[in-house]
């Protein structure tokens, strides 16, 4: 099939497509709704893949400030996509390729490259058809033989200027792959007005009108609200927005994000989507018992573990989204409720550290860039080391642990990373020689999955239950090989290295309950029902500490009759 701009749509596309758009307001939870639908379709035995189209001009979020945009997720193949990809992977339990996140920046960039190469044969290059074709091609490329349903989330809100080419592309898409192969879901807000005690449908109507103005009639409307949408209100939305009543879905606030798939299933979302896509008989029973068991565990967890995150972006908790989720996953597995304490690394001066950290059960020193707050993180690493406080260092976290150890134990006064100081006597963290000339900031880090070999008798090998592991990376700096021997001689365990032994991947401290650092980002591989071993173990160590500190409390609880 020919695309309007001269491209070709594959004849053999067998996948079905679900497009999720949002209206009224941003941050309504489109990503979570899309991910939950993904989980439900997977529970129906379908092979699901997900992707996100982002209307901003950045090539990818890799260079974006976490204060503004939240965490940068990392895929196995080294993509630096939007944090929604993390929700997708956690919910549908599939690794997604970097191509699962396309931005306006990437789309224009490839169209411009094609233009310079002369691929357009002298024609005028325009948003329609060339940009829209590029968008459609990217969607189609993801719909290979291994996919039954591709769920595509369109970032931004209908009505935004930047979103127009995406909406136009997905509108054309249905015509080109066939009506029965495409389902449009529109997410809106139904606000509750306290003074009148009413839920209002007007914003939904306006938003649907806006979408229709761009040529798309939604098949399903998901209404976000803090109160359930009554049948009467559903009837009204059904009538005014012209969708069947079973396609008006109430998505009421949930107490845990992992409850959302169950709520949406209760509203029949997956059955309705399957019906629209001609996928199977409506009313088919779906086995969600494993997910239900898991959600029950989430609610039943009663022991508490207080885990501090020593960060710099703590006013933007989304900057550490996958770390927080991984800690929670660790708690779910152990029947413990992880309470996150945000600790502002910048505010530390040595004397304050114990006041801030003493009543915590464990800490995480997460990844980060730039000098702000680094001395506070080094102080936290030191406090944890000296007080047997369980501590997991992630990427920059490992680096500050090495700096602390070098300064305080290996007698390398003033040791630091070359990221934070010049002309250092002890640059224990530094760029590898082959990286020193890098001038481009985007995509030039060590990115994606890399293998590490663990020492067989090490703590990390026991935790993983393996001596060869693969983790995702996103950093420029490494432990400086010049100081490896001295650090080891002073007692630091460099217990995981790259297969060629050039790079230190894991550190630990023999004799400490849990003082473990990894140069990688294990948080990107944790799944709700399959917590990452490092987080599970950190929470286990935290639980032990919590029990030691308040033994009487646990004894009393242990005697409470069932
Ligand atoms: N800034 C450090 C580096 O580039 C750590 C990066 C990170 O924590 N992701 O190596």
Ligand 1 pocket: which of 474, 504, 523 to mutate (most atoms <8 Å of CB)?
474
Going by CA atoms, what residue is nearest to atom 1 of ligand 1? 369
- If one residue of 472, 477, 521 were mutated to test the ligand 1 pocket, choosing by the most ligand atoms within 8 A of its CB, it would be 477
Angle at Cα 34 formed by Cα 32 and Cα 39, nearest 5°?
90
- For tokens 């102080």, name the residue: 379
Give the ligand 1 atom nearest the CA of 419. 1
Question: What stretch of H or E contains 225?
Answer: strand 220-225
**Active-site amino acid positions:** 395, 521, 523
DSSP letters spanning 99-146? GGEEEHHHHHHHHHHHHHHTTTTTPPP-IIIIIHHHHHHHHHHH--TT
pLDDT at 317: 80
Pairing label, strands 427-431, 477-479: antiparallel
Intra-chain end-to-end CA distance of the chain, in Å: 65
| Cβ-based neighbours of 337, under 8 Å, separated by 6 or more | 301, 302, 303, 304, 305, 331
Measured in Å, residue 446 CA sits from the centre of ligand 1 at: 10
Asked whether the bond before 129 is cis by omega within 30 degrees of 0, the reply is yes
Residue 180 is given by DSSP the state G
Residue 99 and residue 80: Cα distance in Å, rounded?
Answer: 10
For ligand 1, pick from 62, 319, 367, 447 the residue to mutate: most ligand atoms within 8 Å of CB.
367
- Model pTM? 0.90
**Ligand 1 atom 6: residue of nearest CA:** 475
Residue 396 C-alpha to ligand 1 middle, in angstroms? 5
In the Cβ-directed half-sphere of 276, how many Cα atoms lie within 13 Å?
24
Tell me the CA–centroid distance for residue 428 and ligand 1, in Å. Answer: 14
In this structure, the residues whose C-beta lies within 6 A of any atom of ligand 1 are: 367-369, 395-396, 419, 474-477
Order the strands of the 468-475 sheet from edge to edge: 336-344, 303-311, 362-365, 391-394, 515-518, 504-508, 493-497, 446-454, 468-475
Distance 513 CA to ligand 1 centre (A): 25
pLDDT of 280: 72
Residue 104 token pair: 């306006």
Contacts with 196 (C-beta within 8 Å, 6 or more apart), sequence order: none
Q: Give SS3 for 65.
A: coil
CA-nearest residue, atom 7 of ligand 1:
367
Determine the distance separating the centroid of ligand 1 and the alpha carbon of 543, expressed in angstroms. Answer: 29
Name which residue sits closest to atom 5 of ligand 1, judged by CA.
396
Res 36: pLDDT:
97
User: Mean pLDDT for each consecutive 10-residue tract of the chain (562 residues)?
Assistant: 53 86 87 96 94 92 80 94 94 94 95 93 93 96 94 94 96 94 97 88 94 96 93 94 95 91 95 92 75 87 92 85 95 92 83 82 95 93 96 98 97 95 93 59 79 97 98 96 96 96 97 97 95 97 90 50 38
Task: Catalogue the E-assigned strands of 378-440.
Answer: 391-394, 416-417, 427-431
Strands (E), 229-302: 248-252
Q: Return the CA Rg of the chain.
A: 25
Cα distance between residue 400 and residue 420, in whole Å: 11
b vs e for 385-412, b when ≥16 Cβ sit within 10 Å of the residue's Cβ?
Answer: beebbbbbbbbbbbbbbbbbbbbbebeb
DSSP string, 473-521: EEESEEE-GGGHHHHHHTT-EEEEE-TTS-SEEEEE-TTSSSEEEESS-
**Which atom belonging to ligand 1 lies closest to the Cα atom of 395?**
8
* CA 478–ligand 1 middle distance (angstroms): 9
CA nearest to 418, candidates 368, 494, 478, 504: 478
Question: Which atom of ligand 1 sits closest to the CA of residue 394?
Answer: 8
- Residue of the nearest CA to atom 8 in ligand 1? 367
Query: Residue 68, CB half-sphere, CA atoms under 13 Å: how many?
Result: 5
Spatial distance between the Cα atoms of 517 and 405, rounded to a whole number of angstroms = 12
What pLDDT, on the 0 to 100 scale, is given for residue 316? Answer: 83
Give the count of beta carbons closer than 10 Å to the beta carbon of residue 537.
23
C-alpha distances in Å from residue 468, one per residue of 452, 461, 495, 499, 523: 6, 8, 12, 9, 18
> What's the pLDDT at 561?
40
**How open is the CA angle 251-256-257, to the nearest 5 degrees?**
60
């Amino acid at each position: 099939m020919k695309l309007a701009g001269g491209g070709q749509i594959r004849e053999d596309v067998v996948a079905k497509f679900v497009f999720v758009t949002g209206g009224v307001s941003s941050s309504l939870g489109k990503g979570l709704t899309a991910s939950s639908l993904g989980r439900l379709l997977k529970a129906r035995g379908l092979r699901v893949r997900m992707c996100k189209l982002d209307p901003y001009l950045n090539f990818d979020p890799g260079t974006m400030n976490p204060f503004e945009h939240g965490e940068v997720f990392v895929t196995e193949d080294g993509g630096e996509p939007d944090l929604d990809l993390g929700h997708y992977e956690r919910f549908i339990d599939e690794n997604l390729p970097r191509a699962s996140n396309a931005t306006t920046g990437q789309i224009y960039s490839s169209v411009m490259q094609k233009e310079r190469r002369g691929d357009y044969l002298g024609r005028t290059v325009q948003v329609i058809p060339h940009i829209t074709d590029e968008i459609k091609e990217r969607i189609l490329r993801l719909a290979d033989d291994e996919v039954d349903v591709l769920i595509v989330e369109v970032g931004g809100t209908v009505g935004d200027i930047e979103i127009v080419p995406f909406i136009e592309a997905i509108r054309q898409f249905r015509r080109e792959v066939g009506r029965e192969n495409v389902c449009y879901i529109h997410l809106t807000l139904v606000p509750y007005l306290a003074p009148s005690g009413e839920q209002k449908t007007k914003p939904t109507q306006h938003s649907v009108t806006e979408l229709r103005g761009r040529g798309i009639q939604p098949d399903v409307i998901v209404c976000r609200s803090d109160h359930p949408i009554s049948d009467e209100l559903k009837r009204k939305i059904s009538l005014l927005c012209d969708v069947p009543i079973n396609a008006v879905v109430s998505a009421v606030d949930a107490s845990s994000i992992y409850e959302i798939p169950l709520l949406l299933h209760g509203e029949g979302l997956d059955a309705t989507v399957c019906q629209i896509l001609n996928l199977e008989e409506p009313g088919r029973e779906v086995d969600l018992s494993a997910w239900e068991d898991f959600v029950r565990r989430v609610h039943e967890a009663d022991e508490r573990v207080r885990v501090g995150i020593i960060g710099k972006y703590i006013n933007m908790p989304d900057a550490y989204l996958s770390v927080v989720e991984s800690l929670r996953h660790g708690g779910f597995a152990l029947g413990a409720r992880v309470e996150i304490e945000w600790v502002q690394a910048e505010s530390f001066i040595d004397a304050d550290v114990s006041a801030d950290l003493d009543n915590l059960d464990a800490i995480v020193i997460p990844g980060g860039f730039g000098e702000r707050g680094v001395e506070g993180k080094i102080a936290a690493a030191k406090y944890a080391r000296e007080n047997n406080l369980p501590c997991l260092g992630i990427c920059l976290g490992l680096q500050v642990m090495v700096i602390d150890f070098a300064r305080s134990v290996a007698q390398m006064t003033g040791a630091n990373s070359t990221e934070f100081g010049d002309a250092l006597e002890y640059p224990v963290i530094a760029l590898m020689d082959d990286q020193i000339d890098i001038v481009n900031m985007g995509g030039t880090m060590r990115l994606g999955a890399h293998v590490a070999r663990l020492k067989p008798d090490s703590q990390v090998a026991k935790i993983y239950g393996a001596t060869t592991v693969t983790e995702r990376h996103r950093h420029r700096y490494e432990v400086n090989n010049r100081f490896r021997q001295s650090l080891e001689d002073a007692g630091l365990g460099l217990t995981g290295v790259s297969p060629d032994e050039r790079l230190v991947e894991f550190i630990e401290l023999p004799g400490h309950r849990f003082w473990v650092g990894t140069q990688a980002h294990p948080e990107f591989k944790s799944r709700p029902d399959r917590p990452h071993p490092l987080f599970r173990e950190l929470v286990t160590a935290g639980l032990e500490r919590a029990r030691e500190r308040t033994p009487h409390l646990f004894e009393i609880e242990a005697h409470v009759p069932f």
